[in-house]
């Protein structure tokens, strides 16, 4: 994960937001930081009264200043996480608006091409996009034909053909031209494109507190109240000892000092960073092209035990693709491939394109001009269940090439006086039972063989599911298909289990049953039939290429429509949980170490029996700090600086590795618990040496 560069585009807005976050109505939602702000506000009148009474204290002024800095650093950590997320959305928008495009317009009788900024485009403008260009806005192809890479929008790796005068003339802003050229008439204003809607969705997301975050907030509040009582008792005890037992502290300490002590020992570190951890997690999710509609969904991914995945459109591409040519024994495979390509030359469906590509890529077949010079297209129709071509040869004979379903081809061949062999019938039936789709290919009344179409598994799925298995997460494919089809796809995808013949209501009931057993369930789907299950699941990941109903039901939207991203989503969820846990451990042990900085110097001279003025409690002054003033000032400075130092870790997140929970806990305690104790001893001592060297005390 890349840490964002802290440039002025991020820092300046974050600083401004830090001041706006001083509003008590906002900070009261974070009780620990609310105590910090309240303490700062209470110190001001005491400081003013002391100064007006001639009791000027540079020590107390420094404490008040560092109280304010602590508060600002706490607000800054949240503000910079928010600014980082907004900067990503702004960068996406500015990258397009600052680009220039070729606009075509008639000047008199001459067509003139001019370069203009994308931001100047209007509905109805005609633009020219060539190979390598990014199509800037949604529009319609009015001239030309090109292959378009739509993976940035749909996640599908296979490029598509877009051409004028057909149902495939619509293009989407953000896609890329990879061959030829097209002239496009814009149909939307800038700001209303598909990608703009995604950016607006990112900016409009409201992050609510997650259950774990609310539980931790309650814990921190209780801890802060307990420590408030501790400091109150400290004042009572210390004031008594000053009067009775003797101490180097000649007079009772002021309210300002006690409030500073309170802020030093309450868990301000995790309190300051808590909100930023959740916000930065959502930002990291956006970097993987996943939109989180709320913070609860992001965190819940870290606790997932079971993932249910729809088959069509989620695990598979959703379209049947040519997988294999199976000719009859007396038919040459090269000849079969050539005829199959001719039969599909006019078929613009994904299935038809896949047949052409299979013949070309695997069998090196390409129709020449003589094959297609006198050709008549026979498009697919619901009535015939076939498609193909009629070719006139030089002898005026007509060659009839057809491909279609087995029942349609049997009827066609019998009408010509031919017979479909048992081999072809058996092959077609076997493919159907395996979950594939057989297309029978014919030339005149001769049956050449069968084209095997099948669902294509999205690339890289099997290896990623193996990673999920190592993380202790079970994957189950759930589909309405028959048992044989489901078994075949499940084996190829590498899921742990599958459920076949399941209705939409059945999917919903399965999720409810698993949740009743105590499992945290994620559901990935794309169709209307998946919507109830997506809504019921703890985490509903909707494919962006799916239906509106599915996207509305899910709480995460995968813009790439790629289920292998589930592992990235889960890792980010676990990162958030681990980061929060690690920094909580660091904060608590950090506060324990601060006790050794402050209290030994306050009580160290009590009951002193030697000329050095050191009492029995001086032995606890392990850091050997110079005085109680330098100890308190050093601690509050360290307390503020550590918040700032941890912001990069919050934005990046604690690195996650698939290990058992107990192993992760031990590692967390050693690394973050240990550093939480060690860091204050080193940091506070160094600050103490510096402030005494330069004479701040």
Coil vs helix vs strand at 277: helix
Residue 423 token pair = 């081999």
Length of the chain: 697
State the CB neighbour count (10 A cutoff) for residue 117: 14
Coil vs helix vs strand at 632: helix
For residues 581 and 371, what is the distance between their CA atoms, to the nearest angstrom? 69
CB contact at 8 A, 532 and 508: yes
For residue 390, give Cα distances in angstroms to 140, 375, 524, 616, 642: 32, 6, 45, 106, 78
CB contact at 8 A, 455 and 320: yes
- The one catalytic residue among 149, 310, 530, 558: 310
CB contact at 8 A, 545 and 154: yes
For residue 649, give Cα distances in angstroms to 175, 275, 658: 35, 14, 20
Q: What is the CA radius of gyration of the chain?
A: 35
For residues 645 and 680, what is the distance between their CA atoms, to the nearest angstrom? 13
Give the HSE-up count for residue 18: Cα atoms under 13 Å, Cβ half-sphere. 19
Report CA 138 to chain centroid distance, whole Å: 25
For residue 220, give Cα distances in angstroms to 126, 215, 272, 525, 599: 60, 9, 11, 38, 22
CB contact at 8 A, 351 and 363: no
In the block, which residue shows the tokens 């390409």? 366
- Residue 386, strand partner residues: 404
**133 among known catalytic residues:** no
Residues 6+ apart with CB under 8 A from 154: 544, 545, 560, 561
Coil vs helix vs strand at 307: strand
∠ CA 302-307-313, nearest 5°, is 120
For residues 116 and 320, what is the distance between their CA atoms, to the nearest angstrom? 42
For residues 190 and 188, what is the distance between their CA atoms, to the nearest angstrom? 6
Residues 6+ apart with CB under 8 A from 102: 113, 114, 115, 127, 128, 129, 130
In sequence order, what DSSP letters do the residues of 419-460 get, joined into one string? ---HHHHHHHHHHHHTT-EEEEEEETTEEEEEEEEEEEEPTT
CA dihedral (51, 53, 56, 57) positive or negative = negative
CB contact at 8 A, 632 and 261: yes
Closest-CA residue to 378 (of 405, 349, 347): 347
For residues 120 and 130, what is the distance between their CA atoms, to the nearest angstrom? 20
CB contact at 8 A, 271 and 33: yes
As annotated, the active-site residues are 310
């Amino acid at each position: 994960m890349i840490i964002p560069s802290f440039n002025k585009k991020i820092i300046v807005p974050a600083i401004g937001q830090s001041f706006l976050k001083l509003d008590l109505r906002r900070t009261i939602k974070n009780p620990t930081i609310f105590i910090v702000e309240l303490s700062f506000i209470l110190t001001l009148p005491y400081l003013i009264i002391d100064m007006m009474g001639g009791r000027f204290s540079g020590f107390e002024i420094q404490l008040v200043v560092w109280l304010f800095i602590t508060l600002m650093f706490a607000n800054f950590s949240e503000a910079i996480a928010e600014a980082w997320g907004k900067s990503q959305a702004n960068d996406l928008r500015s990258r397009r608006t600052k680009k220039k495009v070729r606009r075509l317009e008639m000047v008199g009788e001459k067509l003139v091409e001019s370069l203009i900024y994308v931001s100047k485009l209007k509905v109805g403008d005609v633009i020219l996009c060539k190979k390598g260009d990014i199509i800037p806005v949604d529009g319609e192809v009015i001239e030309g034909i090109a292959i378009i890479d739509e993976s940035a929008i749909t996640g599908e790796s296979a490029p598509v053909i877009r051409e004028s005068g057909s149902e495939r003339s619509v293009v989407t802003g953000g896609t890329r031209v990879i061959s030829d050229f097209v002239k496009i008439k814009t149909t939307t204003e800038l700001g209303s494109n598909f990608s703009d809607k995604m950016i607006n969705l990112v900016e409009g997301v409201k992050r609510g507190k997650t259950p774990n975050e609310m539980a931790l907030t309650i814990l921190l509040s209780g801890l802060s109240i307990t420590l408030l009582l501790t400091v109150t008792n400290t004042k009572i005890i210390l004031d008594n000892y000053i009067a009775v037992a003797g101490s180097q502290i000649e007079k009772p300490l002021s309210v300002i000092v006690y409030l500073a002590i309170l802020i030093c020992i309450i868990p301000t570190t995790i309190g300051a960073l808590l909100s930023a951890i959740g916000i930065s997690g959502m930002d990291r999710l956006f970097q993987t092209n996943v939109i989180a509609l709320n913070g609860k969904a992001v965190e819940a991914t870290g606790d997932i035990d079971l993932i249910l995945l729809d088959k069509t459109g989620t695990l598979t591409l959703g379209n049947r693709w040519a997988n294999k040519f199976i000719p009859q024994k007396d038919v040459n495979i090269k000849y079969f491939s050539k005829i199959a390509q001719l039969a599909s030359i006019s078929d613009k469906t994904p299935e038809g394109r896949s047949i052409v590509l299979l013949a070309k890529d695997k069998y090196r077949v390409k129709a020449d001009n003589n094959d297609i010079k006198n050709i008549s297209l026979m498009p697919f129709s619901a009535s015939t269940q076939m498609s193909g071509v009629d070719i006139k040869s030089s002898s005026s004979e007509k060659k009839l090439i057809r491909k279609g379903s087995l029942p349609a081809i049997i009827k066609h061949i019998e009408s010509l006086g031919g017979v479909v062999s048992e081999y072809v019938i058996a092959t077609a039936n076997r493919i159907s039972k395996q979950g594939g789709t057989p297309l029978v290919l014919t030339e005149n009344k001769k049956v050449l063989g069968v084209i095997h179409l099948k669902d294509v598994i999205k690339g890289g799925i099997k290896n990623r599911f193996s990673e999920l298995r190592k993380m202790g997460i079970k994957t189950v494919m759930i589909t309405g298909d028959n048992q044989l089809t489901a078994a075949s796809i499940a084996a190829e995808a590498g899921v742990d289990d599958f459920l076949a013949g399941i209705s939409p209501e059945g999917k919903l009931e399965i999720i409810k049953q698993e949740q009743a057993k105590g499992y945290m369930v994620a559901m990935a789907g794309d169709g209307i039939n998946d919507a109830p299950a997506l809504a019921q699941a703890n985490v509903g990941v909707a494919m962006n290429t799916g239906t509106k109903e599915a996207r509305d039901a899910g709480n995460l939207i995968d813009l790439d429509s790629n289920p292998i991203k589930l592992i990235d989503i889960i890792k980010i969820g676990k990162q958030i949980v681990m980061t929060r846990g690690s920094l909580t451990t660091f904060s608590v042990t950090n506060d324990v170490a601060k006790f050794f900085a402050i209290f030994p110097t306050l009580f160290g001279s009590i009951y002193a029996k030697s000329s050095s003025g050191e009492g029995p409690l001086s032995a606890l002054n392990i850091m050997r700090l110079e005085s109680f003033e330098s100890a308190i000032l050093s601690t509050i400075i360290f307390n503020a600086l550590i918040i700032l130092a941890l912001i990069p870790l919050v934005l990046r997140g604690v690195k996650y590795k698939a290990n058992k929970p107990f192993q992760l806990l031990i590692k967390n305690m050693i690394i973050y618990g240990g550093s939480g104790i060690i860091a204050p001893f080193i940091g506070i001592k160094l600050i103490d040496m510096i402030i005494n060297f330069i004479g701040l005390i």
